A = this chain, B = another copy of it.
Amino acid sequence: MKLLKEKILNEGVALSDTVLKVDHFLNHQIDPVLMAEIGKAFKERFTTQKITKILTLESSGIAPSVMAGLEFGVPVVFARKRKSLTLSEGLLTADVYSYTKQETNSIAVADKFLSSGDSVLIIDDFLANGEAAHALVDIVRQAGADTAGIGIVIEKSFQPGGEKLRSAGHRVESLARISSLSDGRIEFLSEVEA
């Protein structure tokens, strides 16, 4: 997605070999016009799929998901992050290990919002090690619903998440795939590879 890649090159910062900061337009300040384009791009990528619901994770997944929800004409559900879960009645939960923070958190979705007839598009802002996406897939499975696809805004394809999810048979569509952040330089997979 050309507009997204331009934004990443112009406003993103490679903080290290693995960390890309995009707080100017995606996860602190948000560019609504870009989000609307991202919503359309997800619709194009999954246009042949039957989608009944979009599932994402607070907070940075919400903006692109709501724009996609508008394109697909389906509700968006966002999983909540919790330090620990004492009460889980009526909740579908899964654990997410954060390599950045080196801690495990729970994510939770009210079970009333996912049912066995649902065909779910999972959307998230980043895909790195795939921990969050894997937890969302697990929540969809617990609901007896079907994961129709996984839509990612920015995939760091030099980390194993994308490969793991694709090997497991998931259709993963990433709007920008980054091949390297070495030496402060942001490089994308070539269009042929992507």
Q: Which residues of A contact B (CB under 8 A)?
A: 23, 25, 28-33, 35-36, 58-59, 62-63, 65-67, 69-70, 73-78, 80, 109-110, 113
Contact = CB atoms under 8 A, between A and B. Distances in A.
A77 B35 contact: no
A109 B29 CA distance: 9
A120 to B, nearest CB: 12
19 contacts: A23-B110, A25-B75, A28-B110, A28-B113, A29-B76, A29-B77, A30-B66, A30-B69, A30-B77, A32-B66, A32-B67, A32-B76, A35-B66, A36-B70, A58-B59, A59-B62, A62-B62, A66-B66, A66-B67
A10 B84 CA distance: 32
A136 to B, nearest CB: 15
A69 B63 CA distance: 11
A65 to B, nearest CB: 8
A29 B66 contact: no
B78 A28 contact: yes
A33 B66 CA distance: 9
Given A29-B76, A30-B78, A32-B70, 12 more contacts: A23-B110, A25-B75, A29-B75, A30-B62, A32-B69, A32-B74, A32-B76, A33-B70, A59-B62, A62-B66, A63-B76, A66-B67
Contacts of A70: 32-33, 35-36
Given A31-B75, A77-B29, A66 B69 contact: no
Contacts of A62: 30, 59, 62-63, 66
A75 B65 CA distance: 17
A86 to B, nearest CB: 14
Nearest to A57: B59
A89 to B, nearest CB: 15
